[in-house]
Structure 1
C-alpha cells in the first residue's frame, strides 16, 4: 500500500515558534511541513471566558480559553528575512501558504499584495506552494508558470466555508480543477457523520483515479479522511504537533497519534 506524505501544518505567529514546531515535526517523522505565511502577519491572544456551572466539567473547566488571531499591518513582517530563515532553518520539504481572509486566512493586504507574496515564495526555491483554485485565472497562470520554471510543485487548494455537499459534487469539484496543480486539495467545513461520509465517499471513489488528491473536513468527522488516508489513496495528509481532545472537534489529528492509528489499523 502506498502511504500518503504526512504534512505537519506548523503552528506559530513568529518565525522562532514556526522553526521550533518544524524541529518537532522532523523528530515525529513528518515528510514535509506547511508554513502559513499569513499567520506570521497575526498576533495570538488568549481570552479567558468564565462558564456557568452547567457548562463546566472535568474536561471542560469553568474557565474556558479562547484563542484569537488578530491580523497586523502589512509592514509588520519582513517577508524577505522570513523566507531566508525558513530556508535555512527547516530541513524538510516545505509548503508555503498565504491564505486569504475569504478562505479563513489572516493576510492583511490586498489580493494583489498577496499574489506578490506568493511570487516571492516561489522565487525563494521552496519545494511546494499552495495556490488557491479561485485566484484570478490569468494571475494564477503566471504563478503556475513561474513555479514550473523553478521546479516548485503546486497544491491547488479550495477551502469552502460551507458544509460538505454530496460526494458526487465533491468529486466534480476535483475533476474540474485537475489541471491546476500537482495535488488537488479540497477542504470543507464538517459538522458530523453526514459530512464525514460525503467526504469519505468522494475520496474512496477517486482513489483509483490518476488524480492526486487530499480531501478533508474541518470540524466533527473531518478527521476520518486523515485517519484512513492510506486506503483512500490520498497523496498528502495534513496533521499537527498540537495535542488535545479538542482536535477531533476541529477535524484535526496529532502527527504521532496519526501514525499510531495507522499501525493499529495495519495500514503500514
Structure 2
C-alpha cells in the first residue's frame, strides 16, 4: 500500500476565466506537486491561447471542454466545443477528455487520434446515482469499443456503500485498461482517495478551496497528505 500511495498520480483541475489566470493556476499547481493538469476550457470567457498554455509547463496537460448537460459550463454548440479539443490536441496537449455521449463520438475519436499524438480519455458522468457493478462494466465495454486510451466513469455517491462499487470495478478493470473511476459528492470522497491505490490511473484535486471543478473534490494538499500518511 505504501509504494502505491507514493505512486498515486494527482491531476489538478484548473478552472479560470482567462488564459492569464489559467497559466497562473498551472504554475501554482506545479509548485504544489501536481502530476498532471486538467485545463477546463468550459470555464473560459475568452478564446484560449493554447500555445501559451502548453509552453507554461512541462507537465502533462488534459484538455476538457465539458458541456452543461455533462455538468460543465460550456454553452455553445457541439461543433465549437469539439473544435476547441482538436485545437488543444494540435498544440501538443497530452490528453483530451471527451464524453462518451458526444454525438458521433466514434468518428470524432478516430479523427482526434489520426491528427495528433493525443491520448483520448473517454468519460461518462452520472449526477444522480452510482450504477451497480454490472452497470459500470457495461459503460466500460462501450468506452473500450469506442477506442478510448483511458476509460473514465464518474458517478455520484448517495451512500458510503456506493464507493465500494467503484473500487471493486477499478480493482478488476484496471487490469484490462487504464481506468479512472470514483464517486462525486461528499459521500464519494473515499473512492476519490482510494481509487489510485487499487489501480486507478489517477485522481483529481483542486488547486485550492473554492476552485473545485466537481462536488467532493479535495485540494491537492489534502490529497497529497493522505497518500503521505499511507506511505
**Using the alignment, how far apart are the partners of 2:217 and 2:115 within structure 1?**
34
Q: What TM-score results when the alignment is normalised by the length of structure 2?
A: 0.87
The equivalent residue for 1:196 is 163
Q: Please state which structure has a larger fraction of its residues in strand.
A: 1
**Using the alignment, how far apart are the partners of 1:205 and 1:221 within structure 2?**
23
* Contact 2:160-2:188 within 8 A present in 1 as well: no
The equivalent residue for 2:100 is 133
In the TM superposition, structure 1's runs of 4+ consecutive aligned residues that sit over 6 Å from their partners are none
**Using the alignment, how far apart are the partners of 2:132 and 2:109 within structure 1?**
32
**Using the alignment, how far apart are the partners of 1:183 and 1:256 within structure 2?**
25
**Using the alignment, how far apart are the partners of 1:124 and 1:199 within structure 2?**
34
The equivalent residue for 1:66 is none
The equivalent residue for 1:123 is 90
The equivalent residue for 1:109 is 76
**Using the alignment, how far apart are the partners of 1:143 and 1:83 within structure 2?**
20
Gap runs ≥5 in structure 2: none
Change (3 A) 1:201 1:187: same
Q: Aligned runs of 1:112-261 on 2, under 5 Å?
A: 112-137=79-104, 140-179=106-145, 180-207=147-174, 209-243=175-209, 250-261=215-226
**Using the alignment, how far apart are the partners of 1:27 and 1:231 within structure 2?**
24
Gap runs ≥5 in structure 1: 42-76
Relative contact order: is structure 1 or structure 2 higher (C-alpha 8 Å, sep ≥ 6)?
A: 2
Q: Does 1:90 align with 2:57?
A: yes
The equivalent residue for 1:74 is none
**Using the alignment, how far apart are the partners of 2:23 and 2:120 within structure 1?**
23
SS, match of residue 155 in structure 2: strand
For 1:184-233, what per-residue CA distance to the aligned partner results, in whole angstroms no more than 9, with x for missing partners? 111112223132222222223434x2211010121022221221133210
The equivalent residue for 2:47 is 78
Aligned with residue 40 of structure 2, among 15, 36, 39: 36
Report the CA distance between 1:90 and its aligned residue. Answer: 2.8
* Contact 1:12-1:40 within 8 A present in 2 as well: yes
Change (3 A) 1:142 1:166: closer
The equivalent residue for 2:230 is 265
Q: CA-atom RMSD, angstroms? A: 2.3
Q: Aligned runs of 1:28-67 on 2, under 5 Å?
A: 28-41=32-45
**Using the alignment, how far apart are the partners of 1:259 and 1:136 within structure 2?**
37
